[in-house]
Each structure stands twice: as structure tokens, then as C-alpha cells.
Amino acid sequence: MTEFFTVVTPDDAKVALFEHVGPLGESERLPTQDTLDRVTAGEVRSPQALPAFPRSTMDGYAVQAADTFGASDALPAYLNVVGEVRMGEAAEVEVGKGEAAIVHTGGMMPSGADAVVIVENTQPIGDGDEIEVRRSVAVGQHVLQVGEDIETGDVIIPSGYRLRPQDVGGLLALGITEVEVARQPRVAIFATGDEVVPPHVSTGPGQIRDINSYTLAGQTVRAGGVPLLQGILPDDFDTLMARTREALAVADVLVVSAGSSVSVRDMTARVFESLGEPGVLVHGVAVKPGHPTILGVAAGKPLIGLPGNPVSAMIVYDLFGVPTLYRLQGATSVPRRGVVWAKLARNVASESGREDYVAARLVERDGELWAEPVFGKSNLIFTLVNADGVLKVPLNANGLEAGVLVEVRLF
């Protein structure tokens, strides 16, 4: 009944796993507008300069700056209005010395002009054929030059980058209507345990409902993966072996949330060993909760054995599963969204040599963010339901004192 394993730090565990796990290296070409939250499969360079034509950044008059030098309320400059540049059209008017043309924000600069006087600093005279200019402008003022934002050939989006709404917008601004993105990893998720029944079933004595399949599916979706729920398996080696082998033929990742008892976790390890080389890489991680985590690889596919406790399962999957999904997609980093720093609202005990994660609620006080630990005896799922995330007690801290800045992983 005793479990034997060598415990490694969470960082070392991830290194051990990632030594054998690289990007899937498969991609698909999608319409840019359908690529939100997908990861680029190559860098994207700009096919053009932006702006593509010199633009006014204000409503006003395109002029030759030299004509305005020294202009003031007391001594305005007088310019002839020779036309107007309409939005969306080429500037056909030309601005010579002593001349001005009406321009709108975002409109094209007419040739000859090198600056814009904003409308507030002008005054029409008579029927509007002439204006007074009451402030001088410098050459280039209120004008965007060609390529000032983007030059042709600039890398605008790197490879391995998860696309946000503004990135989709930036690509479309350059006329890039298709993007090569990484294929989404398929994740086979198994719940195991003789005591586990599906959520729609009335539980008998000693039985609990499957939660992990659904929480892990949600985390998988958020990390860009496709969950393939495999249901609940009994604690039987042959069944587990056959079903996981089958699932691994179509999936890119295998996730098994084992029952809570030691013998059952041990069975998961034996299954991982039998699925292929190199088999189990890590059995036991210096993290609480999550100590009995199993990480392995078979035929290049990551195998993740999670504790059965739903809080532990979510925390460990966030620590190892989520980064694995990003790695399979070739992402260079896990999106920052999801980690905040806050001040610890009260002391938290921990043991040195172990990373602790404590469910925490975030509260704003005096313009600062505070993390209040949520303690729950049983660490059941409602600890996380009542929390905004989990705060991290670092490996070599002997507990944390109230007031220190802590990292909170939002859930």
C-alpha cells in the first residue's frame, strides 16, 4: 500500500517532460478572422508599408509649413484654399506656396503640402476661399508618413504567438486574410476509479460523481486544445491499458485522473510504463496539492497522471497540462492573461522544499489587490468555486507573511 517515488521540483518535472515533448509541427491555413486564440505557425511579415500613403492625423488644412512660420493671433498668415481632399480618394489637389487644402483626419495628404494646421487654429475669411492661420506648424506636424507604423517586410507577428483581437485586426489591416496556425492538440481525458459515476447518475453509498473530466475539458479548451472525453474507467489494469492505447492512437496527449488511493495511482504509472518509450519520467512532484503527479511520454506523446482530488487535478493540470498544450502548439510562452500579483492578506504556513498552491480570493482595497486565502478542509471543488485562483508559496519559502506580494494564478 506504500507508494515509492522520487520527488522532483515542479520546474525540474516540467524540464524532464519537455525534453521529450516538442511542437506538433502541424498547421492549417485559416481565414484570419477565424484565428482568435490560435497560435501562429510561422512569423508573419508585412506585405506593405503602413500607412500606405501620407495621412493627416487631424481635421484641418494641408499646407506648406514654411507659410505658417511666425503666424499668431496678432499676425495671422493668409492662405488661399485651393480644394478639399475627400476621404477614401486620392488627393488630386496640389498645394503650392501660399495655398491650403481642406483635409480630414485619416485623409491623404495632397502633394506639395508638408504639414497640417488644425481647424481650431484657423479662421475662414469671406466666402471661405481664404483662411487666416493663427499658429505656425512644423514640417511633418499632424502628418503620418508612409511606413511610419510598419515598413514592407517587417515582422509584424512572430511565430508561436497566440492571436488576440488586436492581432487579428493588425493582420487584416495589412490585407493578410489567411494565416497559418498550429493544429489544436487533441487531448484524451480519462477519469478512473471504481467509486466514480457520471454526473447524471444518483450516487449510492461510497460513490462520487465525475468532475475531473469536465474541469479538465474546460482548462483544455482555454489553452487551445480539443478535449476528447473518454469517460470513466474502473480500476482495472487491462481495461485501462487497452482504452488508453486506443485513445493515444488518435490523441496527442493522454490525461488520466486517477482514483485517490495509492494502489490506483500505481496502476496509472504501470500503464504509462507499458504504453511505450520512455514511459514514466516523473513520479512525484514537490507540490501541494499534487504530490502524486505522474508525467510520462510514449512515442513522443505526453502522458499526464493527475491526482483524483478535483482541486489537485485542476492545479496540477494548470501547472503541467496547460504549458504542455501551448508547447505542442509551438507557442513561445503561455499567455500572460491568467496570472496576477497581489498582496497576501494573512500569513500562510508551508514547508520548505515544496511549492504550495492555496486557493485565494482577490479583493481590492485602497487601490491595491489583496489575495485572501480560502481554506477548505477537504479541498473539494468548492474551494476553487469560492476562489478567484490559487496563490503560490514558492519552493523555498517557510510560509509567507501577510503583506508580501504573491503570484496568483487565476482559475
Among positions 256-315, residues that touch a second copy (CB under 8 A) are: 259-264, 308, 310, 314
The number of residues that bind a second copy (CB under 8 A) is: 104
Q: Which of 98, 169, 353, 403 binds a second copy (CB under 8 A)?
A: 169
Name the pairing type of β-strands 287-288 and 208-209.
unpaired
Q: Which of 26, 130, 132, 149 binds a second copy (CB under 8 A)?
A: 149
CB of 130 to a second copy, least distance (A): 16
Nearer to a second copy, 120 or 401 (CB): 120
CB of 246 to a second copy, least distance (A): 23
Alpha-helical runs (H) found in 303-366:
310-316, 322-328
Report yes or no: 208 and 197 within 8 Å, Cβ to Cβ. Answer: yes
244 sits in the region (left: phi over 0; alpha: psi -120 to 50; else beta) called alpha
HSE-CB for 345 with a 13 A CA cutoff = 17
Using CB under 8 A as the binding rule, whether residue 96 contacts a second copy is answered as no
Identify any residues that bridge with 150 across adjacent strands, giving them in sequence order. Answer: 50
Rg (CA), the chain: 31
Using CB under 8 A as the binding rule, whether residue 133 contacts a second copy is answered as no
* Range 354-383, binding a second copy (CB under 8 A): 362, 367-369, 376-378, 380-382
* Range 15-74, binding a second copy (CB under 8 A): 32-33, 36, 50-53, 57, 59
* Range 188-217, binding a second copy (CB under 8 A): 193-197, 199-212, 214-217
Strand ranges of the sheet holding 99-103, from the earlier edge strand across to the other edge: 115-118, 60-63, 99-103, 77-84, 130-133, 122-125
* Range 378-407, binding a second copy (CB under 8 A): 378, 380-382, 384-385, 388, 405
Nearer to a second copy, 94 or 277 (CB): 94
Taking alpha carbons only, the member of 132, 114, 131, 143 closest to residue 56 is 143
Q: What is the DSSP string of 87-139?
A: TTS----B--TTEEEEE-TTPBPPBT--EEEEGGGEEEETTTTEEEE-S---T
Q: Which stretch binds a second copy (CB under 8 A): 71-79, 242-250, 335-343, 346-354?
A: 335-343
Using CB under 8 A as the binding rule, whether residue 237 contacts a second copy is answered as no
CB of 60 to a second copy, least distance (A): 9
Nearer to a second copy, 35 or 64 (CB): 35
